Structure 1
Amino acid sequence: MPKFMFLQFVDESKSPRPGTPEMQAEIDAYGKLFQDANTAGILRGGDACQPTAAGFSVQVKGGRTETTNGATVSGSRWLNGYWVFDCKDRDDAIQWAAKIPAADGGTVEVHPIFEM
């Protein structure tokens, strides 16, 4: 079955803070998603990402390695998680992407994985 990577982007400034009822509701929503995906036998991996300030970018220019701390995309759009699911086809991937809590108010990019 084809694999698809789901990249979820949200507005970091609007993300619920740890310890709040809103954060617990989000944790519960992801718990249900993962339970459903595991029951369907399609979840292959994934995880949440730390805030943009913890990230960094690496580029090689003229043989020199350069790093940049923080997000390289301006604004508050934050890659806050990724998931790999086995999906039958594009339509199946769309249905699963719509179940990811970040899709409500954020964006879920879906990329078919080229298996080597």
Structure 2
Amino acid sequence: MQYLFILFADQNAWGRMSSVEQERGVAAYRAYTEALKEAGVWVGSNRLQNTNTATTVRLVDGKSQVLDGPYADSKEQLAGYYLIEAPDLDAALSWAARCPTASHGTVEVRPVWPVPGATSDVASATATAA
């Protein structure tokens, strides 16, 4: 089953870190990603740009409304995600606890609701879309 790790952190914290602390942070995420890959559970991941680059779209009375900024204003912002394949929630929670974000933010773990007829193989889906 696939699980999405939704990473929340204070986007301003990075700018308050020394260059040595930033290097350690990058190394921690790199090592975590490699551990996921080596274990064969990594499906995908990405870091998101800061919320000042966000645009929100919604339909009101059938008309599109486009607003600058994130959907919600909060202390911690959506910073990125990992998508993994794990046998069960316990295994997913174990991996989430090892994520560097858990030490300075929040990792929300959500099971992915599979789309009927869709493949869970990202490479196959990408090849099909191309």
What's the TM-score once normalised by structure 1's chain length? 0.91
Cα offset for 1:17? 5.9
The residue number in structure 2 matching 1:23 is 22
What is aligned with 2:4?
Answer: 5
Residue 19 of structure 1 deviates from its aligned partner by: 7.9
Pairs aligned (count): 115
**CA–CA distance in 1 between the matches of 2:80 and 2:44?**
11
| Structure 2 residues without counterparts, runs of 5 or longer | 116-130
TM-score by length of 2: 0.82
For residue 29 of structure 1, give the secondary structure of its aligned residue in structure 2. Answer: helix
Greater Cα offset, 19-28 or 57-66:
19-28
Three-state SS of the structure 1 residue aligned to 2:6 is strand
Q: CA deviation at 1:109?
A: 0.5
Moved over 3 A (4+): 16-19
Question: Which of 1 and 2 has greater Rg?
Answer: 2
CA distance in 2, matches of 1:60, 1:38: 39
Write the letter of the residue equivalent to 2:108.
E
| Aligned equivalent of 1:64 | 63
Aligned-partner residue type, residue 46 of structure 1: S
The separation in 2 between residues aligned to 1:110 and 1:100, in whole angstroms, is: 11
Q: Deviations over 1:28-82 (max 9, x none)?
A: 0011111111111110011000001011111011111111211221233111101
Which range is displaced more, 67-76 or 85-94? Answer: 67-76
Higher relative contact order (CA 8 A, sep 6+): 1
**Superposed CA RMSD:** 1.6
User: Residue 98 of structure 1 aligns with which residue?
Assistant: 97
Alpha-carbon distance between aligned partners in 1 of 2:67 and 2:94, rounded to the nearest angstrom: 36
Contact 1:11 1:106 in 2 (8 A): yes
Given that residues 17 and 23 in structure 1 are in contact (C-alpha distance below 8 angstroms), is that contact kept between their aligned partners in structure 2? Answer: no
Identity among equivalent positions (%) equals 28
Quote the Cα distance in structure 1 between the aligned partners of 2:14 and 2:75.
10
Instruction: Choose between structure 1 and 2: higher strand proportion.
Output: 1
- Partner in structure 2 of residue 46 of structure 1: 45
